[in-house]
Structure 1
Amino acid sequence: MNHTDAPVQTRFRTSLGDIAATVMGSGPYAVLWHGMFVDGDSWGSVVEALAPHRTLVVLDGPGYGASTPLSRVSSIEECAEAGAQIIEQLGGDGRVDWVGAAWGGHVGMTMAALFPDTVRSLVAVSSPVEPIDPVFRIKLIIANQILAHFGPIAHLRHVIHDAQLIPPHAKDRSMTAVIDHALNRAPRRSIAATVTSFIINRGDASHRLPRITAPTLLITGDDRGEWTPDVMDAAASRIPDARTLVIESARTLVPVEQPAELAAGIVDFWQSLDAR
């Protein structure tokens, strides 16, 4: 695939169906995989600052956006396999700078551990390595059944807004619209399958941390709940080459809540690697 400055729409064949992507920028490849309940558009306010430094491959994750709907239960490991298939189709030197938010960060950690030759560096934003709280898991199973049958009704959308955004941002329609557009764009059963696969069934990934040899930047918002700065620092201490960054006034959807600060942190990380 040729590098390009103007955005180009493309698709990759993977074991999880066709994955849609927008490619833009110049330089070495960087793959961006978004979090749950949003699609590739959630990087919209970040990519302009990143594109001068990398050729960005901005994905719609399986089941979202213009990608093939997800019709069955999958796993983070299978997503990592799909990520490796995408990197192989990109060509180049077979390695990328991986940037993942929440779900995409979990995929990146798994790729870096299982397919180390594919990941030049890793940025994982708002990606806790522990399984979800058991009580919350039960509530999520119930909510997901409603989602599968009735779609993203108003009550569910508001719950998702509150989980993804700090209170002032949950009232900001420009931010909630990023979530609502993605939820309305994807088939309801596809979204429900992703929730089961990548949240409800999410396992403990902490055992993989020592196997991540790529230079790594872990990022969290200051209001992330279970992924507090202290918990993130403890995880980073188990990765051979890791640093951390806390972004203020952000919860889970950091690329939408604080895009400028996030982009600056990623560019600084990349530039430090380029200078090595």
Structure 2
Amino acid sequence: MTPDLVAHRVPTRLGALSVRVGGEGIPTVFWHGMFIDSTTWQPVLELLDAPRRVILVDGPGHGLSAPLPRVSSIEESAAVALEVLDALGIAEPVDWVGNAWGGHVGLRLAADHPERVRSLVAVGAPTEPVTPAARRKLRLLLAIGTVIGLTGPARSAVLGTQLTDAGRRDPAVMAVVSAALDRPSRRSMLRAVRSFILGRTELTSALPSISCPTLLVVTDDRDDWTPADAGAAVAALPDGRVELVSGARTLVPLERPAELAALIASFWSGLAGSRVNPLRRRSASR
């Protein structure tokens, strides 16, 4: 699925966002994770063959979007997502695919505005706040980044949270990630870290309110979002399932695009054209 994409500049409360739209069919939003941008979805899009109207979003302060003007929140990101859909004239429910931050935005949007989300795929998106240990590391990263930006040790720390050792040795993966890291301004990225990582509130309590079919994708190389954690989260969803992808950390769309595309395609095929579908809940420890 590689439709011709048309670039849009969508004004929102968090600055103008770069949004690329193309194709025909069910509107499907792809929202990336922190530090990177919508280019990380390209390997997955090339492997999906279902006809779709693709909406690729560069989140606030990332990619080609305007710098983040102030400290914000996941909740406000979800409000911005609605502004994007409204600006594009998309009133029907969308299929949402989000990686990390994008998964958090999708979970919040589906909980608060169930009429706008037909289905949800959240890839590597923990539902609990950042752990105290990770918070300490992030505060150190912020201190370093304030002085020198995301270079040297700060950049290495970011890459370590995003990619496995194998991913960091892959020139193709590193080319995409490095280019994405270089696009935002230093101030914008530091505000984004404060907003969408350090300031992330828990989403576990929102899970029972998410009525749409939901797929949680978890990896085997993260301490903060394990298969057991995802299994507990999916048990709280009215209509959820969980799948494990091995050999990836946070950036599953880049490290394991074929596996992720296959999971997404299978999940979509089970929707059978309906907004609410009784997908069988499955344990993460399969």
TM-score bracket, shorter-length normalisation: over 0.9
Q: Measure the CA separation in 1 of the matches of 2:89 and 2:48.
A: 21
**Alignment partner of 2:216: what SS?**
strand
User: 1:12, CA displacement in angstroms?
Assistant: 1.7
Counterpart of 1:264, as a letter, is: A
Q: Measure the CA separation in 2 of the matches of 1:6 and 1:241.
A: 33
Confirm whether residue 23 of structure 1 aligns to residue 24 of structure 2: no
Confirm whether residue 124 of structure 1 aligns to residue 122 of structure 2: yes
Q: Measure the CA separation in 2 of the matches of 1:205 and 1:165.
A: 24
80, 83, 86: which is aligned to 1:85?
83
Q: Measure the CA separation in 2 of the matches of 1:260 and 1:24.
A: 22
Q: Which runs of 5+ in 2 are unaligned?
A: 275-286
Which shifted more, 76-85 or 216-225? 216-225
1:103-128 per-position Cα deviation (integer Å, ceiling 9, x unaligned): 00000000001111111110000000
Cα gap change, 1:191/1:92 in structure 2, threshold over 3 Å: closer, same or farther? closer
66, 70, 73: which is aligned to 1:72?
70
Counterpart of 1:147, as a letter, is: G
User: 1:5, CA displacement in angstroms?
Assistant: 3.7
1:204 matched to which residue of 2?
202
Q: Measure the CA separation in 2 of the matches of 1:252 and 1:224.
A: 8
71, 95, 98: which is aligned to 1:97?
95
**Alignment partner of 1:121: what SS?**
strand
TM-score using structure 1 length: 0.95
**Alignment partner of 1:208: what SS?**
helix
261, 267, 271: which is aligned to 2:265?
267
Q: Which runs of 4+ in 1 moved over 6 A?
A: none
2:7 matched to which residue of 1?
9
2:160 matched to which residue of 1?
162
- On the 8 A contact 2:253/2:260 being kept in 1, the answer is yes
User: 1:15, CA displacement in angstroms?
Assistant: 1.3
**Alignment partner of 1:183: what SS?**
helix
1:216 matched to which residue of 2?
214
User: 1:92, CA displacement in angstroms?
Assistant: 4.1
Q: Measure the CA separation in 2 of the matches of 1:31 and 1:145.
A: 34
Confirm whether residue 257 of structure 1 aligns to residue 255 of structure 2: yes
**Alignment partner of 2:65: what SS?**
coil
Counterpart of 2:19, as a letter, is: A
1:144-182 per-position Cα deviation (integer Å, ceiling 9, x unaligned): 122133211122222111111111212222212222211
2:277 matched to which residue of 1?
none
173, 182, 185: which is aligned to 2:180?
182
- On the 8 A contact 1:34/1:60 being kept in 2, the answer is yes
Q: Measure the CA separation in 1 of the matches of 2:17 and 2:37.
A: 11
Number of residue pairs matched? 273
Which shifted more, 144-153 or 243-252? 144-153
Q: CA RMSD in A?
A: 1.5
1:226-247 per-position Cα deviation (integer Å, ceiling 9, x unaligned): 2111110110010000011111
Q: Measure the CA separation in 2 of the matches of 1:32 and 1:141.
A: 29
User: 1:275, CA displacement in angstroms?
Assistant: 5.2
Q: Which runs of 5+ in 1 are unaligned?
A: none
- On the 8 A contact 1:87/1:118 being kept in 2, the answer is no
Q: Measure the CA separation in 2 of the matches of 1:20 and 1:198.
A: 18
User: 1:51, CA displacement in angstroms?
Assistant: 5.7
Identity of aligned residues (%): 45
**Alignment partner of 1:14: what SS?**
coil
- On the 8 A contact 1:19/1:61 being kept in 2, the answer is yes
Counterpart of 1:228, as a letter, is: T
TM-score using structure 2 length: 0.91
Cα gap change, 1:177/1:91 in structure 2, threshold over 3 Å: closer, same or farther? same
- On the 8 A contact 1:53/1:267 being kept in 2, the answer is no
**Alignment partner of 1:87: what SS?**
helix
Q: Measure the CA separation in 1 of the matches of 2:258 and 2:223.
A: 22
